[in-house]
Structure 1
Amino acid sequence: MITISIDRVIASKWEKTVVLLQNRTLRKFVPETERLNSQKLQRMLKRHKMVYVKPVKGGGGVGVMKINKLSNRNGIRFKLQNTTSVKRFKTFGGLYKSLQKQMKSRDYIIQKGISLLKYQNKLMDLRIMVQENLKNQWEVTGSAARIGPTKKIVTNVSSGGITVDFKKMLNHFYEDKTEQDQFLDSLHQMSLEIAKQLQKYNPNLKEIGVDIGLDDQMHPWILEVNTKPDPRIFFRDKSTIEKVVRYGRAYGRKYDLTPKFKHEKKYANKLGEIT
């Protein structure tokens, strides 16, 4: 167990995981996570066959890699995939040596791989924005499904992913409208609980972006919590971004809403109107 100083921004994915695991309600939604070293990676691959390795600090999917343990007649035992390439290895030593080269001097975590739900054969996950509102109460201010590019291991917009209305996506998984509403409400309640839990260790925390993955049983998994979330993920919904910016302005946050990617240009006028 690590000691986390109170009243400090928790930027480390490892520290956030430790904080969330201290909450009994949230514990069942946190994938098994370890600090990366050779021994722990071997154990995790033995247990789960698929894991993700992520930089302890950073966002946007940068540096994220996926490792699969394979059963292959040709002797290929491991597959290492990042956002641009796929490599295969016959030995764990070869895998780890390649991994170290890509990691450079950065610290990484290992996270149990979740077989995410797919939409049109593309990975899908969910971003939920939670902020302190004008009454200093936590409120869910936005939610969107992210659809990753074909064959990519991340769904981030910066990696070519697109965002869609998650409420509409639920039509593909629940026929009953009441079930849809109940499921979405349960995700919102979980996100609010995450915000409250992290705020215990960082009283100045005012906003988070929760990345949630759903497995084939519709069980939610907390993939990551961003303490400086980018509201541009909601660029299709002007009213959502207006609320996010209004709340953010109240606690001193400023957002760069300049479109950075091709699929945002269509909505550039909407973003530009919000100051």
Structure 2
Amino acid sequence: MPEPVLGILTLYLNDAKQLEEKSVYRRMIIEGSRIGLDVFVFTPADVHVSKEQINALVYDIKSGTWSRKWRSFPNMIYDRCRIQRSQRFQQLLRFRARYDHLTFLNRPLRNKWTVHQTFSQRSRFRQHMPETLLYQSSADLHRMLKFSPVVYVKPINGTGGRGILRIERQREGKHLYDIQGRRQSRQIIAPRKVTLNRLESIVRQWCLGGRFLVQQGIPLRLPSGRFHDYRMLVQKNGQGVWEFTGMAGRVGAARSVTSNLHGGGHAMKAEVLLKQWLGSEERADKAMRTAEKLGLEAAAYLEDSFGALCELALDLAIDREGKIYVLEVNPKPAREVFARSGDSATYRKALIRPLEYAMWVYKNKNTPSSAKTVEE
């Protein structure tokens, strides 16, 4: 009986056909072979439509080398494609539309604004959402600044901490504001003080050519002056059931308004950082348990709302009282935060679970959960 086949769908980063997570895919191919799952990597550019074949990237475990091989379409597709402004992304949208009948382990989520509105429909999740508005004019900025002394401006489709502006109302000057942020290139914008008129102008310019949110800022500055948050991963297991995989703390680089690792941040074990932040092991444990329950319920709810998911990362802010806020959700999460925090067991689990879930899907001949189609 042939082995079930899983195709990891990704996008090249550039015309040189470089892949961002090649070392992760190598590891998944090795782990897949141990459980009887044949895994290869491909992008929409590798699909030969008339041949109905894929010029796949395959890894030979014995020789430790990558090569190209023509392969038939896989039994299941694990979509790792993140939004990028390129022709490659347009190719992806066409691929998803053309091959919508295939078995995808996960479907794309909608943008941050739609996800926020979806969560806000349920009181269970509404209490964990920061106040958020879709930026349409300076009136939206004013409303949020009246509500919260700290406000974040962020793109509705941004990833990796790009394009985020942090605004803080200054106590000493009624109409003086401290702003800092990160450009789309991840370049840090040093803090500076501006007047309200200047702030309005900066935000208008910042939001040109895209859609942005203005969001309540949660106090997350550590005594060191750096910002922090928590990355939690929930995944489907080998029985097709949502399970908590792990949680890690992220501490931002100096002068950074975000905690993303790509932006120079570093990772810590969540329980260690939470104990320092909340002041006791007992309060840290309570926050971890609450976060875990929230994550599992949120994943099931979003899957019901948008279609099949096999994993979900939640970026959480936890204030000094231990209240949890969902800052962002990501259906295509990186998992290096666990490796970097020294939690190698959780890192391995994070790699293996999608493979075990794929085996379950194959054995059950089960189209993952609801097959609702979702527009990008």
2:256 aligned to which of 144, 152, 165: 152
Q: Tell me: CA distance 1:57–1:176, structure 2 relative to 1, closer, same or farther (3 Å).
A: closer
1:137 aligned to which of 232, 235, 241: 241
Q: Tell me: CA distance 1:71–1:181, structure 2 relative to 1, closer, same or farther (3 Å).
A: closer
Contact 2:261 2:337 in 1 (8 A): yes
1:237 aligned to which of 343, 356, 368: 343
2:231 aligned to which of 100, 118, 127: 127
Name the Cα RMSD after superposition: 2.1
Deviations 1:137-183 (A, max 9, x none): 11111210111122321100011111011122333235355x54333
Q: What corresponds to 1:29 in structure 2?
A: 128
In structure 2, C-alpha distance between the alignment counterparts of 1:180 and 1:90, rounded to whole Å: 39
Percent identity, aligned pairs only, is 27
SS of residue matched to 1:118: coil
Q: What corresponds to 2:370 in structure 1?
A: none
In structure 2, C-alpha distance between the alignment counterparts of 1:115 and 1:169, rounded to whole Å: 15
Once the two structures are superposed, the pairs formed by residues 1-275 of structure 1 within 5 Å of their partners are 9-37=108-136, 38-73=138-173, 77-83=176-182, 84-85=188-189, 86-92=191-197, 94-116=198-220, 118=222, 120-172=224-276, 173-177=278-282, 179-235=283-339, 236-251=342-357
In structure 1, C-alpha distance between the alignment counterparts of 2:201 and 2:281, rounded to whole Å: 50
1:241 corresponds to which letter in structure 2?
Answer: Y
Q: Compute the displacement of 1:216 (Å).
A: 1.8
**Pairs aligned (count):** 243
Q: Tell me: CA distance 1:182–1:80, structure 2 relative to 1, closer, same or farther (3 Å).
A: closer
Deviations 1:206-250 (A, max 9, x none): 111111111121211111111211111111322212211111234
In structure 1, C-alpha distance between the alignment counterparts of 2:332 and 2:295, rounded to whole Å: 15
> Normalising by the residue count of structure 2, what TM-score does the alignment of the two structures yield?
0.60
> Normalising by the residue count of structure 1, what TM-score does the alignment of the two structures yield?
0.81
User: Which structure has the greater CA radius of gyration?
Assistant: 2
Contact 2:269 2:343 in 1 (8 A): no
Q: Tell me: CA distance 1:245–1:104, structure 2 relative to 1, closer, same or farther (3 Å).
A: same
SS of residue matched to 1:122: coil
Bigger RCO (CA 8 Å, 6+ sep): 1
Gaps spanning 5+ residues in structure 1: where? 1-6, 253-275
Contact 1:63 1:103 in 2 (8 A): no
